[in-house]
Structure 1
Amino acid sequence: MIQQIYPQVIHPYQYELNKDMHLSAAHYIPHEDAGKCRELHGHTYFINVTIAGDDLDKSGFLVNFKQLKNLVHGKFDHTVLNDHLEVFPKDGPDSFPTTEVVARKIYEIIQNDLDQLPHKPKCLQVFVRETPTSYVVYRPKQVKKND
């Protein structure tokens, strides 16, 4: 069982859902400055996703936990991240499967799915731990509304 305290996001929503998951995947960083990480190697990634919203769906869920697991674990577990060219195209550092980019891409996958739901929950942050001592938190920038 994963028992971890994650950085908190201050938000105005009534409901907050957190889903922990882990997946085993390999990757490499195709850049000369990546050192040993240029070589194919693997990690057991520990991931936490924070979703929030004010309304529940017709089942009484903000989001079904299984839906989140299918989107991330179902796609990436026991794969080579670099092979997912639709997610990590080989066109520059913004798409290399570094921990930072993995966190952002997981956010994008989840938020694209959430955007299809009528009650419009929001993904507030994605936490990705690559090793016991290294992790990344991705939070989308908040867009200020003009008054």
Structure 2
Amino acid sequence: MMQQIYPVGPHSFAYELNKDFHFAAAHYIPHEDAGKCQKIHGHTYFTNITIVGDELDHTGFLVNFKTIKDLVHKRFDHETLNQDQAFSDDKADQFPTTEVVARTIYEIVQQYLDSLPNHPICLQVYLRETPTSYCIYRPKRKDRI
């Protein structure tokens, strides 16, 4: 994977952790306005997850890199996203678009982080669907889980 610096907004946390990984998945967008994307097709998604916090855990980690990757990779790699419980063919805000997949990854990661005693926060999820198309999901402060 090529090293890349991702845009991150300013923050006042002591630590910022970034985890890069990729996963392969198929999907389709169940709407007539989606054009060719209505048909099932696949991508190799490249993901960067940014986590921030002020306290390290008992092992000296903000959060374990492997755990962050496993939360997403084990769930979505070599799957059809439309079949996952997080997505729906009936509601546009639950179609597995790049935007919705990025938001869903945030929700999965933040739910795990909420269980940790050192209270790290997922600041953003960067999701590249193709070499020329990507999305960044940053929850509004009031919307953080």
TM tier, shorter chain? over 0.9
Alpha-carbon shift at residue 58 of structure 1 (Å): 0.4
The one-letter code matched in structure 1 to 2:118 is H
TM-score, scaled relative to structure 1: 0.94
The one-letter code matched in structure 1 to 2:65 is F
2:63 is matched with 63
The one-letter code matched in structure 1 to 2:105 is I
Counterpart contact for 1:9–1:125, Cα < 8 Å: no
- Please list, as runs of the form range in 1=range in 2, the aligned pairs for 1:1-147 lying within 5 A after superposition: 1-84=1-84, 86-143=85-142
TM-score, scaled relative to structure 2: 0.95
Q: Percent identity?
A: 65
Cα distance in 1, alignment partners of residues 59 and 88 from structure 2: 37
More helix by proportion, 1 or 2? Answer: 2
Matched pairs, number: 143
The one-letter code matched in structure 2 to 1:90 is D
Cα distance in 1, alignment partners of residues 21 and 11 from structure 2: 23
My pick for the range that moved more, 40-49 or 7-16, is 7-16
Cα distance in 2, alignment partners of residues 20 and 50 from structure 1: 9
Alpha-carbon shift at residue 87 of structure 1 (Å): 1.0
Deviations 1:88-125 (A, max 9, x none): 13330110000000000000000000000011100000
Deviations 1:10-33 (A, max 9, x none): 111000000001000000000110
Counterpart contact for 1:14–1:54, Cα < 8 Å: yes
Alpha-carbon shift at residue 2 of structure 1 (Å): 2.7
Alpha-carbon shift at residue 3 of structure 1 (Å): 1.2
Counterpart contact for 1:27–1:40, Cα < 8 Å: yes
* 3-state SS, counterpart of residue 143 of structure 1: helix
Alpha-carbon shift at residue 4 of structure 1 (Å): 1.4
CA RMSD of aligned residues (A): 1.2
Cα distance in 2, alignment partners of residues 30 and 74 from structure 1: 25
Moved over 4 A (4+): none
